[in-house]
Amino acid sequence: MLSPNLLIALCSLAAVLVGKTSAFQNSIGMCKQNAFLPQTADSGRTSLSVSSTAMNDSINDTMNEYNFMKKYQESLLLGPPHDQSTLTTTSQHEIPPPPITITAIPEPATSTTIGSQQQQKQQVHSITSMQELISVMNGQRNLHDDQLTVIKFYADYCKLCQRAGIQMKRLVTEFPTVDFTKIEQNTLTAPAADTLRALGVTKFPWVQIYRHGNCVASFSTGPSHMFMKRVRDTVTMCLERSPEAWQEFEQEFASNMAENAATRQKLMAYLDSSHPQSNMGA
């Protein structure tokens, strides 16, 4: 047998959990009515027994409804459960992202040609024969009439010449419009010493500069640490010389240039007479 106060407390708890204000008021009213009914010896027990059974049913219904609402709210917050098979199937049917294509900017069509031309200009040309030497002196390698040609005379045994060769490569980069060449003494015709003296070369390393087929500079570079400065200063002076200044220079040193040109003609005549087939193939 449940006491009226206990029934009222249970009804209050059920109503608060569910949040049903109307159910709570109905339960309170029913409990009060059953609690204060006049009791008789026989009918009092029967009325309380019936009221207790009805109250238990109401509490069970209320709790069932509360549990249902709680599960429903959890399902809204959490969403449907996902097992491994569901995740795998979903990932297989996802639309893959579009591929990212990186387009390289094409280089100009002339970049390769320009690069190869610069590489060719930035090399010291090696003269391999006496015929080629005279041809270079006459300006046959020049790309234009005013181009300067620098010729370095050297010997393999000369340590100063080896150091000067490294500095000459730097000058090629510094003066890309100038034709830098070199010739080793063993390339000259025998006797090589007489040929060198005839051209004005007395020691190694020695540099000559030609313009329009005329020798406009001929000097010893001295120690290796002076090679760069002397060659650079002379080349710069020639490049900066105006046409009027060149005309005055050629008039002042006409005899020297004529003597050098006559020596080259004698050497060419000697080569023609001693090596006619070699000259024809050159």
Q: Which two tokens stand for residue 218?
A: 């001929």
Answer with the one of 15, 48, 79 that is the final residue of a domain: 79
Measured CA to CA, the distance from residue 36 to residue 51 in angstroms comes to 12
User: Is residue 34 assigned to a domain?
Assistant: yes
Mean pLDDT of 19-47: 50
Q: What is the pLDDT of residue 193?
A: 85
More confident residue, 141 or 31: 141
How many distinct structural domains can be found in the chain?
A: 2
74 and 122 inside one domain: no
Q: What is the pLDDT of residue 2?
A: 54
Q: For residue range 65-116, list pLDDT tens digits in order.
A: 667 666 655 555 555 454 444 444 444 455 566 666 555 555 555 544 444 4
Residue 201 burial class via C-beta count within 10 angstroms: exposed 0-12, middle 13-18, buried 19 and up? buried
Containing structural domain, residue 220: 118-281
- Whether 269 shows a pLDDT value over 60: the answer reads yes
46 and 134 inside one domain: no
74 and 123 inside one domain: no
CATH code, domain with 140: 3.40.30.10
Q: For residue range 113-133, list pLDDT tens digits in order.
A: 444 454 455 699 999 999 999
149 and 55 inside one domain: no
* pTM for this model (two decimals): 0.57
Answer with the one of 79, 102, 132 that is the final residue of a domain: 79
The rounded percent of the chain whose pLDDT value lies above 90 is: 43
User: Is residue 273 assigned to a domain?
Assistant: yes
More confident residue, 213 or 30: 213
59 and 141 inside one domain: no
Q: What is the pLDDT of residue 88?
A: 46
Mean pLDDT of 57-70: 69
Judge contact between 126 and 204, C-beta under 8 A. Answer: no
Q: What is the pLDDT of residue 282?
A: 39
42 and 122 inside one domain: no
Q: For residue range 197-213, list pLDDT tens digits in order.
A: 999 999 999 999 999 99
Q: What is the pLDDT of residue 189?
A: 75
Query: Mean pLDDT for the chain?
Result: 76
Mean pLDDT of 43-56: 56
Choose from 28-37, 46-55, 116-125, 179-188 the range with maximum mean pLDDT: 179-188
User: Is residue 86 assigned to a domain?
Assistant: no
Strands 179-184 vs 149-154: parallel, antiparallel or unpaired = parallel
61 Cβ partners below 8 Å, 6+ apart? Answer: none
260 and 126 inside one domain: yes
Q: For residue range 218-246, list pLDDT tens digits in order.
A: 999 988 889 999 999 999 999 999 999 99
Q: What is the pLDDT of residue 281?
A: 40
- Whether 182 shows a pLDDT value over 90: the answer reads yes
Task: Specify whether the backbone of 112 is left (phi greater than 0), alpha (psi in -120 to 50) or beta.
Answer: alpha
Answer with the one of 79, 106, 140 that is the final residue of a domain: 79
Confidence of residue 33 (pLDDT cuts 50, 70, 90): low
User: Is residue 89 assigned to a domain?
Assistant: no
125 and 261 inside one domain: yes
User: Is residue 109 assigned to a domain?
Assistant: no
Q: What is the pLDDT of residue 142?
A: 86
